[in-house]
Structure 1
């Protein structure tokens, strides 16, 4: 992993800000839609539905920020792909109307949404769940971890060697630049880096964790401005295995 190009949290934030600035004109909603779709496609590649798991669930754990929004979008696309997602969304964001719209869309697709008081622990069993989507914290995470997410990460970390965990951009409990810095953190079976890998991805154990890049929405000239080249996605693919 030492030769992998990564983009620091500071530059990643600048890149996103420029994409959503007046010159380029992307909206947060557009980027979130593409990110969530990419994560769903990576899940389909690594954990395809077969006769043994066709009735199992995919547990999507969504945090209150943009990373959680990516998870909500991912859940909708997984439903369209034929999976049975269940969303645990203990702290709903009220910052923008868009997050509420994402919840309405999940209701429209009859995707169960669990609140903080609901029994989400029932899905932490291999016989129940294909994989867990860790969409709790993104690259803005700073320790210490506030509740109820500390307890959530603790519970997931106990079973991340028995149920595959898919981390969206940054595994929860990891600092985006430094890697695992919290006392409790999740070890993913699959990491989906969005746009470009972050420095924490160099800390994954490649014997345990597959690594994809997704978020196919920038041209090469823009990537070169930030010091990297766009990835060689195949055909219409939205993700690429690194």
Structure 2
């Protein structure tokens, strides 16, 4: 396996900027599509439907930024994989047309998207005996405390459930600092972390029982070395690699 090296929030932002700059030319939509697919693949790897029994629901918590967009994409792929995703999207981004398109795509596939009108009863859709996992796609590496509502309450409720329903986190656990780890109480303890592009320093605070994947297979080997980490040795057509 490739040598594992985490990159700071500052360096991660520089990587994204160059990837979407004129010399490389990725769009945010492309990177988000690959990121969301990676998370869906990790869920399918860890919780295959053939062993899930009657549990098919995946409850996705989508935040207002790019991390939330990854969650929306993940939900679409999970639906196509045969799961029953349910999305809770309490603070929608109205200024970016792409996020509206992602919601429209979920509607096209008949994926429920709960909104502000469900703030008080969203937990009715999250039943431990029917839910494979919770996807934490609330905040990414740009999170700065303190937690504000409704997210403070959402994270508290997830923390109360995480011993019964495993949490799959997208890139950085919500309420964690990308470099310093858990900075809020209570805080999410992910069963699975899917680091995008390359792990961030907060990944060192994962519990030993947690499973760690890297996803987002869009980095050329020379580009990885330029930023100080070895390319990850993805296999065949896999979009994820267990670390």
> TM-score if structure 2 supplies the norm length?
0.95
Alignment of 1:90-239 (within 5 A): 90-118=90-118, 119-207=121-209, 209-239=210-240
Q: Is the 8 A contact 1:57 1:85 kept in 2?
A: yes
**Uncovered stretches (5+) of structure 2, i.e. residues with no partner:** none
- CA drift at 1:230: 1.1
CA distance in 1, matches of 2:215, 2:54: 25
Aligned to 2:20: 20
| Unaligned runs of at least 5 residues, structure 1 | none
Q: Which of 61-70 and 157-166 deviates more?
A: 157-166
Instruction: State the 4+ residue runs in structure 1 displaced beyond 6 angstroms.
Output: none
Partner Cα distance (2:173, 2:46) in 1: 17
C-alpha distance after superposition, 1:110-136 (max 9, x if no partner) = 000111232221244321211000000
Q: Secondary structure of the equivalent of 2:117?
A: coil
Distance 1:6 1:143 in 2: 22
User: Whole-Å Cα distance in 1 between the matches of residues 161 and 122 of structure 2?
Assistant: 14
What's the secondary structure of 1:95's corresponding residue? coil
What is the alpha-carbon root mean square deviation over aligned residues? 1.2
Instruction: Report if aligned partners of 1:63, 1:89 keep a CA contact under 8 Å in 2.
Output: yes
Once residues 140 and 30 of structure 2 are traced to their aligned partners in structure 1, the CA distance between those partners, rounded to angstroms, is: 17
Q: TM-score, normalised by structure 1?
A: 0.96
Structure 1 CA distance for aligned equivalents of residues 33 and 51 of structure 2: 29
Question: 2:217 aligned with 1:241, yes or no?
Answer: no
2:55·2:132 contact (CA, 8 Å) conserved in 1? Answer: no
Kept after mapping to 2: 8 A contact 1:124/1:156? no
Alignment correspondent of 1:85: 85
Shift of 1:68: 0.1
For residues 27-48 of structure 1, give each alpha carbon's deviation from its aligned partner in whole angstroms, at most 9, with x where no partner exists: 0000000000000000000011
Question: What is the Cα deviation at residue 51 of structure 1?
Answer: 6.1
Q: 1:21 to 1:165 in 2, by over 3 A?
A: same
- Note if contact 1:124-1:159 (Cα within 8 Å) is conserved in structure 2: no
Note if contact 2:55-2:129 (Cα within 8 Å) is conserved in structure 1: no
Residue 138 and residue 52 in structure 1: after superposition, are their counterparts in 2 closer, same or farther (change >3 A)?
closer
Residue pair 1:123, 1:129 contacting (<8 A) in 2 also: no
Native 8 Å contact 1:63 1:92 kept in 2: yes
Change (3 A) 1:231 1:183: same
Cα displacement (A) at 1:55: 4.8
- 1:52 Cα shift? 4.7
